[in-house]
Structure formats: structure tokens, C-alpha cells
Amino acid sequence: MKVIPIAAGIVLTALAPALADTPRLTVYAPDYFASEWGPGPAIKAGFEAECGCTLEYVTGDVLPRLLLEGARTNADVAIGLDTDLTARARASGLFAPHRQDNAALELPIDWVDDTFLPYDWSYVAFVYDNTRLPAPPTSFEALLDAPDDLRVVIQDPRSSISGLALLLWVKELYGDAAGAAWERLAPKIVTVTQGWTEAYGMFTDGEADMVLSFTTSPAYHIVAEDDHTKSAAIFDEGHYMMIELAGRIAHTDQPELADAFMAFILSDAFQTLIPEGNWSYPSAIAPEDWPQAFRDLPRPDHAFFHSEDVAEAMRAPALEEWRAALSR
């Protein structure tokens, strides 16, 4: 009866040196990215097949965790940053150049940053059910003028990157009158959620007519559910563009693996997983090569995009206007 555990112990002892010799790459990532329904698991499998290593995700709020840990961080790579947060990320001194060729990128703007590498992008938008709201607002001004019984769910700009993008979108459109714009929108806001998942769940459960999301969100319903009832309202004034980014940690103890992962981000093996894994536009695939559902999605004629310095300068005053308007 004791033969089995003894044999198992011999096997584990024999395997221990091999397991200890397997290099490990630690990637800090948002929960949605690394979850079973996100692109993370397939990206992990694809990279491990190439690197002969183990990729480990550490999930949560990426930048706050990095700033708290500082130079003591165990991260080798961080993924899930965005252009509205990179000023603080860059100022931390935690990131090194990504060492990739920006010419491989397929973005609506020229990307010249050598520290943060885009892996996907989309436009912030309000998504609605076209069977329940047959005549949605076609401009931001029309949204503000809509009856107050229109139910809208948004995310908190202090805890959500989409919520922050909306904050900067309103500030871009309305400038010094942004506070007044928020006061006009406030009666229509059912609630402000901490993150995107809770807000979108309320919408799909029928608790809201419109939800702050992205122009690419309807692709999920089309591809995964064969449901064409969800649409993004395209506004005449234009939409705020959000780009998600990865960065290489300067003090990584796995520099070769970190460089290899940054290169992997621009590979077809990674990029082809983004549209139907993260439900966004891939950063290094030309639009004509996107899946058909993404090619068919409506896109705005005009996009707003701020450099990190402009976004950081706008954030505090825009947040104060938002808080004051919604507290009345």
C-alpha cells in the first residue's frame, strides 16, 4: 500500500530540477484580460509554446499596484495600461523602452512612443438595444437633450478607464461648459458603477437603455450570440479614441523573456486573438484583414485623442466638474 506514494515522491524529486529550471515571465494584467473569457489564456498558451517558459498573470488594477510596489515589483511586463494613464506610469521610472518597431502598427494615428506599445484600440461609445430604442441620439448634444426618462449607466472615472475616457470626451466637447453638460446628463444616469463589467451587465439585464462602452462591443453579440440587437450610437461630434498598451518593466530579472513577449504582442499569433478575445480592434492588423463583423461595424468620422500630458492636465479639473454636477 505504500508503493504508490513512494513512487510518486521519486517522480516529483526527479522532476524538481527541471521545474526549477523553467523560466517564468510575470505579466500584470487586468482581470478581464486574463479571465477565461478574455484573450489571456490563449495568449499564454501561444507564448509558452514559443518561449519554453511559464507565463504567469497577476491580475487586478495594474498601475495602482505597480506604483505601490515600486522597484520591488515582481512584474516583468505590464499589460492593460491606456493613454490616459501613461503620464503617471512614465513618471514612475518603472518602465523601459519596448524595443519594437512602431512601423508595424496599424492605428488611425501615428504612434511614436518608444516606451508603451499599443496592442488594441477602440472608440468610447454608448451602446443600446436597437429593438427597445429605435431612434437613439445621433450626437452628444442630442443625448443631453433626450427626455430624462432615458436610462443611462456609466462608469466611475476614478476607477474605470472607460469612465475616465468619457470624462475627457465631455471635457473635449464642452470645455468650460463641461460642468453644465454633466448637469444635463445627470438626471438620465441610473447609476455610476465602479467598472465596466457591472455597468454592461445592468444593460444586458434590461436595467438601462444605454451603457457607456465601446463601438466594438456589439461585435461580441454578433459573433458569440448571433444577436444583432445591440448597436453603438455614433455621434456627429466624434468619439474619444482609447488605446490599450503594454510596457516592459525596467528592472525585470527576465529581460530576454520580457523582450520576447513585447515582440510577441505584434505577432499574428497575438493580434488575431484580440478582435474576438478582447472585442477591440487589433493594433497591428490592417482594417481590411479584420474579421468581417469588425469590418462591418460603424465607425465615427472624427476621433478625439489626447497626448498623455494633455490628458493628465485635464483629468483633475474635469473630475471636479463631474463630482460637483453629479452631487447636486
CATH of span 122-241+298-326: 3.40.190.10
**What pTM value is reported for the model?**
0.90
- Give the list of residues 6+ apart from residue 285 with CB closer than 8 angstroms, or none: 106, 268, 271, 272
- Kindly report, residue by residue over 159-172, the tens digit of the pLDDT: 898 999 999 999 99
Q: What are the boundaries of each domain within the chain?
A: 22-121+242-295, 122-241+298-326
Does the pLDDT value for residue 4 go beyond 80?
no
Beta bridge partners of residue 158, listed in sequence order: none
Parallel, antiparallel or unpaired: strands 239-249 and 116-129: antiparallel
Q: Domain 22-121+242-295 has what CATH class?
A: alpha beta
Does the pLDDT value for residue 15 go beyond 60?
no
What are the distances in angstroms from CA 145 to CA 65, 169, 209, 300, 319?
A: 40, 17, 15, 21, 22
- For residues 87 and 91, what is the distance between their CA atoms, to the nearest angstrom? 6
Angle between helices 255-265 and 40-51 (to 10 degrees): 120
Domains 22-121+242-295 and 122-241+298-326 share a fold: yes
- Kindly report, residue by residue over 68-105, the tens digit of the pLDDT: 999 999 999 999 999 888 999 999 999 999 999 999 99
- Give the list of residues 6+ apart from residue 97 with CB closer than 8 angstroms, or none: 114, 115, 248
- For residues 304 and 241, what is the distance between their CA atoms, to the nearest angstrom? 6
- Kindly report, residue by residue over 281-302, the tens digit of the pLDDT: 999 999 999 999 999 999 999 9
Does the pLDDT value for residue 118 go beyond 70?
yes
